[in-house]
Structure 1
Amino acid sequence: MPFHRSAAPLLALPRPAKRLVVMLLDICLALFSVWAAFYLRVDQVGWPQGQQKYVYALAPLIAVPIFIRFGLYRAIFRYTGLAAMASTAKAIALYAALFFAALLYFKWQGVPRTVGLIQPLLFLLLVGTSRAMARFWLAGVGGKKPHAEGRMLIYGAGEAGVQTALALGVARQFVLLGFIDDDVSKAGQSINGVDIMTPAEVPGAIERMGVTDILLAMPVVGRARRNEIIDSLRGLPVHVRTLPGMGDLAAGRVTMQDFQELDVEDLLGRAPVPPNPALLARHLAGKTVLVTGAGGSIGGELCRQIILEKPRHLVLVDHNEFGLYAIHGELLGLCADAALPVQLTPLLGSVRNYERMKEICQRYRPATVYHAAAYKHVPMVESNPTEGVLNNVLGTLNIARVAIETAVENFVLISTDKAVRPTNVMGATKRMAELVLQALADSPRVRFCALDGQPGPEVPNQTRFSMVRFGNVLGSSGSVVPLFRKQLRAGGPVTVTHEEVTRYFMTIPEAAQLVLQAGAMAEGGDVFVLDMGQPVKIMDLARRMVQLSGLSLRDADHPDGDIEIEIVGLRPGEKLYEELLIGDDPVSTAHERIMKAREDFVAWGELEQSLVALRRAANGNDAAAIRNIFMQLVSGYAPEPENRVA
């Protein structure tokens, strides 16, 4: 449009020049408002007379410094919103008080005191109008797309919904058709000319208006109500999204691409387990903490949660260089932003290297170790059983041995529900890792065998060992949620291994908080499990994600649907159902959603001989021997014939 393109030369100016232009505009408006005030009060239209010239000088001399102080010249007019208008009003209110006080003090001849009341009101009107006109004039400049990409309803007519509507009006990438709100008293009203409707009116409005997207703008609504709303929208042919960060909304930097897919909590359909702050901080505040596997999904989130509890020193260990580099950089930023006095040390190393782990622990003397380093992808470990044993079992033995030898106070293993009656090598290795820690926890003094099987010196064991066992983590590498989203973006099909496969789920932050809290309650040899509610059927999760993406399922009854769900068969070692307990009657703990399992284990003297044999089998790449050892030691280990390692 020519009107909007006429602003391009102004936008091409450097930032200081733009600020000078705005400042000159405000000076002109201040002078004009003084002239208008005199005209309205004394019907004077000519040049200032006598001491009136002091009023003309006073107005810009007061206004410009105040505007600078309130940051009005740092604002970007294209993104001016309610917050900027409020700042303008506050600045002029201060200006009005000072201006009126000056007129009362100096008592210039020919200057009525009422000019001190009229001029600020005119000035506010002129400045506010100038900002609004500039926003309208400049909003179309900068490469915005001329055509809308969607037709949207915003669920929530509160402050967040209104700010979203204002900010997205700048982006002009969709047509806002209406608001939805649970408050029936708002029904039939409008916000900036956009009607508010009740939830009952939504299906008809979607069909009548051609709605393509619904944006959830309810940052403070409870999880239960949020789940009810999402469930009510599942059957509608719209894409359900959620808000981006409120900082981006306030600045006006919002496009359709910035809208987020629904949180994994929304897909989970239950409220995350609330943390207990006292438990979180118990073994962290002011301590040196070491996290293995710090560059992974769980290890990284553990580090994010740990630094919030202000440890003295956090040592990050991982064998993946890029993963370690990425989490270290992120944590540095978090510490700087929140002014957290935490020393961070990233160290490359593998838990399979006993000497390297011992060197690290001797140098930094951690009080608590969180052991998250593991190979966890079931099909990958099934195809590489010896690597799974060397990393998951013997790597855990290495770091646990080092913890005892360097007098680490607390050692927490991140385990999995796949360790319960496993049908795959990965689950068996994790249960073996649990057995190692249970046996060590039961031994006040420990004698470790060398690689050749000869016993070493006996050492006292003062380390408190515990394990935290939980289900699948939504959003982690290998999780079904990122996989399903990738398949949806590609147009399908969405692949599910079996119609009846079910899993327990939790979010990454929830899992990390559980680990920290459970570790704080450990007495020694504890196996903690989470009350995770009911398991989720993967087929239901797939359907839910398809429907909430605004797409329809394609099946025999609906051949014209958008996305097909394809059954691809169970992967090697995969179970239909996962369990959290081997035994029965779990014990309650100080946290209402954390339980302690009653699990049998093998005494260290007997277990260590099996570990020596397991090390020999792994070093010799003897998968059959590994399988036999698992079948002897791991309760319920029953690989299906086609999944057995060979």
Structure 2
Amino acid sequence: MDDAMLYRLVTAMSRKQKELAFLLMDAAMSFVTVGLALALNGQTRLDIPTLAALAPLAVAMCFVGIGVSLAMGLPKIKLNAYETRGIVLTGIFAVAVGASGALLNAAAGHPLPVAVFVIFAFLFLVFGAGWRILLRQWLIEIYRRGHQHIRVLIYGAGHTGQQLVAALKSDYAAHPVAFVDDNPTLQTLRISGLPVYAPSKIKTLVAENRIDRVVLAMPSISQPRQARIAHGLRKIGCEVHALPSFAELVGHGDMRRRSAAVALDDLLGRNRLESELPGVSHAYSGRRILVTGAGGSIGSELCRQLIACRPHCVVLLDHSELSLYTIEKELREIGGTMNVVPILGSVLDDQLVRRVIGDHDIDVVLHAAAYKHVPLVECNVLNGLRNNVIGTKVLGDAARDAGVERFILVSSDKAVRPTNVMGASKRLAELVIQDLATRSTETRFSMVRFGNVLGSSGSVIPLFEEQIERGGPVTLTDPNVTRYFMTISEAARLVLLAGSFARGGDLFVLDMGDPVPIRKLARQMIEGAGHTVKDAENPDGDIEIRITGLRPGEKLHEELLISSDMLTTPHSKILRAQEGYLSEIEMANAMKDLKRAIATMDEDLARQVILRWVERAKEETVQPERGTALS
């Protein structure tokens, strides 16, 4: 009978059938044990007349054994849980059956010595526990061969590691292979039946034993150190998990402190404004809306909030296939019967953009598509300008020509007196929209300027979270750097509100309170994750905040406004900025020069366009190298 057939046979048996099998095994074992006890005693002749005379006693002991077994619940003990307690119960069971045999023997007047029943009790204990342990191991092997199981290497041979091995030994899905421990006195020993190796052997153990997962069973060491060990192990190519102590799992420890989250209000340095911002359903209900960059952080949140406004349809435009698929799938799940149209393409494709706006009779354009990562745009100047500036021009012209009702550009605080190419590209995009607004009779063009959006792709929060998870260090460009922050929800609501407030050429900003020191934010996130900051005052801390120096083109402090002229809006937290713009001739010259620079791949000419038309910071916080920032 092969392993597959044995596996099917074992798994097909019901619980009642298994309990009956266990009872029959104990009954059969009692007959065998009586005979062996008589043989070992040596005072009784084992001839046929004697055995025949003792048969009723053996049968009676068998039935007594069945009764005692049922009363004690021995058949109900699962084999994979048969450990020390099960052996103790089996010993009590053996003594009870042996004692009942002695009493029955005395009552029947048989001349068997008491020693026979003492031997019987010992043998019955050995056989009763023995067949269960052997059957348990055999069945575990059958189940493991019938299941895909994970081969586990346990890092840490202490108390937690031993408890884990005890748990995994009865688990069909996981198979502990060996321990690894830093303590030299434990290496080469066997603990809980497994060998203990030095950490230097891990790579060899993983290769030779086909290890699938390494479990860190060292809850007493700090989480940053665990994270550094895990980071090193992942390079070997196996999955790594950290295990808390079992005391922490039931609440006797600092697990809850470790997992404490940092309140968003603390990170923002102010109260969240979602509840204070008015609803916008009236402005978008029944409308046909195009969202560019729909798969990005801001674009996807815009789409989610639009669902509640019950628009006629939402057209999603994105050049990332995965991002577009993800947001379309989510919207179809939460949007019910609402019409969602995914368009895979770029805002630079003039023909595609015009066809999409015309075919779907778009009423509102929310333009969130942009390259926004400062270092990447610094390294890819022409592509950054092409996407952020030319793409906005292509989309804006198409919207104006089609008579779209409203067009809202998502901009950035980095557009204010920029010292980097990304910020300059966003300011040029604002100038494009301001120019279109002065020449449009039907379309109301407006802009929304953001601070840093918490949790968006590439923002500082996910970066710090990743560094903390790895055990540090947390990198900070300068100890005095500050930034304005807003939540993704606030950012999306501001865009939608801007669309409802817009009169044409408006630039909206959110009152985000005071800028947040990034060093303070880093400390809050480290401590919120249950760690301590390693610095001069606390050299034994967990995670260091390391200063790396400002990147080329990076500011110490961001601004939200170029000029100080502000106008109110229907909401006190949303302000309308009064800022200058280029004339139609100046804008045409700027776009002509920029297009020529992109067409000829002339990065120097592109930088000259930026220097000529974009107001820059009076003092740059870091002297950029040629080819890496504005020159």
Q: TM-score range by the shorter chain?
A: 0.5 to 0.7
In structure 1, distance between residues paired with 2:594 and 2:326: 35
Matched with 1:381 is 377
How many angstroms does 1:637 deviate by? 5.3
How many angstroms does 1:263 deviate by? 5.3
How many angstroms does 1:262 deviate by? 3.9
Matched with 2:439 is 443
Classify 1:542/1:276 alpha carbon distance in 2 versus 1 (closer, same or farther; 3 Å). closer
Alignment of 1:469-508 (within 5 A): 469-508=449-488
How many angstroms does 1:436 deviate by? 0.7
Deviations 1:241-269 (A, max 9, x none): 2xxxxxxxxxxxxxxxxxxx445445334
How many angstroms does 1:275 deviate by? 5.1
How many angstroms does 1:284 deviate by? 1.1
Q: Is the 8 A contact 1:588 1:596 kept in 2?
A: yes
Give the % identical residues: 46
Matched with 2:538 is 558
Deviations 1:453-479 (A, max 9, x none): xxxxxxxx4100000001001111111
Q: Is the 8 A contact 1:527 1:597 kept in 2?
A: yes
Q: Does 1:416 align with 2:401?
A: no
Q: Is the 8 A contact 1:276 1:517 kept in 2?
A: no
Q: Does 1:268 align with 2:268?
A: yes
How many angstroms does 1:635 deviate by? 1.6
Matched with 1:522 is 502
In structure 1, distance between residues paired with 2:442 and 2:355: 19
Classify 1:275/1:435 alpha carbon distance in 2 versus 1 (closer, same or farther; 3 Å). farther
Q: Does 1:576 align with 2:556?
A: yes
Q: Is the 8 A contact 1:316 1:346 kept in 2?
A: yes
In structure 1, distance between residues paired with 2:250 and 2:572: 44
What amino acid is the match of 1:429? S
Question: How many residues were matched structurally?
Answer: 400
Which moved further from structure 2: 392-401 or 619-628? 619-628
Matched with 2:629 is 644
CA-atom RMSD, angstroms?
2.9
Matched with 2:317 is 317
What amino acid is the match of 1:314? V
What amino acid is the match of 1:383? C
Q: Does 1:614 align with 2:599?
A: no
Deviations 1:179-206 (A, max 9, x none): xxxxxxxxxxxxxxxxxxxxxxxxxxxx
In structure 2, distance between residues paired with 1:645 and 1:429: 11
Matched with 2:606 is 626
In structure 2, distance between residues paired with 1:538 and 1:438: 33
Q: Which of 244, 247, 255 is the matching residue for 1:213?
A: 255
In structure 2, distance between residues paired with 1:641 and 1:562: 34
Matched with 1:296 is 296
How many angstroms does 1:176 deviate by? 5.1
**Gapped runs of 5+ residues in structure 1?**
1-11, 19-139, 151-170, 178-208, 215-237, 242-260, 445-460
Matched with 2:367 is 371
Q: If the length of structure 2 is used for normalisation, what is the TM-score? A: 0.59
Q: Is the 8 A contact 1:471 1:505 kept in 2?
A: yes
Classify 1:141/1:172 alpha carbon distance in 2 versus 1 (closer, same or farther; 3 Å). farther
In structure 1, distance between residues paired with 2:382 and 2:559: 25
Q: Is the 8 A contact 1:413 1:468 kept in 2?
A: yes
What amino acid is the match of 1:469? R
How many angstroms does 1:270 deviate by? 2.6
Q: Does 1:567 align with 2:547?
A: yes
Matched with 2:65 is none
Deviations 1:583-628 (A, max 9, x none): 0031111111100111000122321121011111112121111111
Q: Is the 8 A contact 1:290 1:314 kept in 2?
A: yes
Q: Is the 8 A contact 1:148 1:173 kept in 2?
A: no
SS at match of 2:439: coil
In structure 1, distance between residues paired with 2:172 and 2:296: 39
Q: Which of 245, 253, 258 is the matching residue for 1:239?
A: 258
How many angstroms does 1:424 deviate by? 0.4
Matched with 2:7 is none
Matched with 1:326 is 326
Deviations 1:352-406 (A, max 9, x none): 1111111111111110000000000001111111011110000000000000111
Q: If the length of structure 1 is used for normalisation, what is the TM-score? A: 0.58
SS at match of 2:283: coil
Classify 1:557/1:278 alpha carbon distance in 2 versus 1 (closer, same or farther; 3 Å). closer
Classify 1:599/1:645 alpha carbon distance in 2 versus 1 (closer, same or farther; 3 Å). closer
Classify 1:578/1:536 alpha carbon distance in 2 versus 1 (closer, same or farther; 3 Å). same
Classify 1:390/1:586 alpha carbon distance in 2 versus 1 (closer, same or farther; 3 Å). same
Q: Which of 401, 404, 408 is the matching residue for 1:405?
A: 401
Q: Does 1:362 align with 2:358?
A: yes
Deviations 1:536-584 (A, max 9, x none): 1111111111111111111223221111111111122211100000000
In structure 2, distance between residues paired with 1:466 and 1:361: 18
Q: Does 1:601 align with 2:581?
A: yes
In structure 1, distance between residues paired with 2:418 and 2:277: 34
**Gapped runs of 5+ residues in structure 2?**
1-10, 16-169, 175-214, 221-244
SS at match of 1:579: coil
Q: Is the 8 A contact 2:367 2:410 kept in 1?
A: yes
In structure 2, distance between residues paired with 1:275 and 1:589: 17
In structure 2, distance between residues paired with 1:143 and 1:588: 64
Q: Is the 8 A contact 2:262 2:524 kept in 1?
A: no
How many angstroms does 1:636 deviate by? 2.2
In structure 1, distance between residues paired with 2:269 and 2:387: 34
How many angstroms does 1:279 deviate by? 4.6
Q: Is the 8 A contact 1:421 1:582 kept in 2?
A: yes
In structure 1, distance between residues paired with 2:328 and 2:556: 38
In structure 1, distance between residues paired with 2:624 and 2:376: 18
Matched with 1:466 is 446
Q: Does 1:343 align with 2:339?
A: yes
How many angstroms does 1:439 deviate by? 1.1
SS at match of 1:332: helix
How many angstroms does 1:499 deviate by? 0.5
Deviations 1:107-160 (A, max 9, x none): xxxxxxxxxxxxxxxxxxxxxxxxxxxxxxxxx999999x9979xxxxxxxxxx
In structure 1, distance between residues paired with 2:287 and 2:265: 32
Q: Is the 8 A contact 2:262 2:525 kept in 1?
A: no
In structure 2, distance between residues paired with 1:519 and 1:313: 17
SS at match of 1:345: strand
In structure 2, distance between residues paired with 1:516 and 1:173: 49
Classify 1:142/1:441 alpha carbon distance in 2 versus 1 (closer, same or farther; 3 Å). farther
Classify 1:172/1:366 alpha carbon distance in 2 versus 1 (closer, same or farther; 3 Å). farther
Classify 1:269/1:175 alpha carbon distance in 2 versus 1 (closer, same or farther; 3 Å). farther
